[in-house]
Amino acid sequence: MFVKVCGLATTADIDVAVEAGADAVGLVISGTSVRGLEREHAARLAAHAPAGVLSVLVVNDTPAVRAAELARELGVGALQLHGGHYGAEDFAAAALVFPRLWRATSLKERPDTRVGAHGEEVLLLDSPRAGSGARWDLSLLDSARPEGTWLLAGGLAPENVAAAIAQARPWGVDVSSGVESAPGVKDPDRIRAFVAAAKAAA
């Protein structure tokens, strides 16, 4: 089970996630998120992520090509374009600058749930209110479950991730607010518990 811990803000956060066994760490650059980082801060965190752990730049309000340029400048491993407002044309333009793209959306957007439909290598299905910690109705996946390399996100926490994996059967999971003690503040014990529960559920 692939596990991404997102919205990390410090090198200590990264260290805990890596030691817990996370496969990827997410760094957010956004003007609307409590987890948003300044470019220089994100660059330091990206450089801190060790080899073998994928660093993912997450954006939701940056034009796709500029986001791809940022991903290249920061030296991250992948770029996550988050939101249904990024269309196939955005992905095509971004891929010319930075080829490793993830597509994140919610079923509320009525997206194409075929992994790779926009040229992305990973699809992430989130709550309609990304970053809110709100759970969503996983039974909606009964008629729209992707196949292949896709991550489940939205409202996941150490207490419910095993049940969510059993129901949704994703390739991987993504967590942010579910491992926090306060908005934007990661809790080391909850990170460890989440990764352990997700890996055990697989």
Q: Which residues are catalytic?
A: 6, 126
Structure tokens at 137: 């109705």
Distances (CA, A) of 59 to 15, 50, 66, 159: 22, 22, 10, 27
For residue 102, which of 4, 1, 202 has the smallest C-alpha distance? 4
Rounded CA gap, 101 and 91, in Å?
8
Instruction: Output Rg (C-alpha) for the chain, integer angstroms.
Output: 15
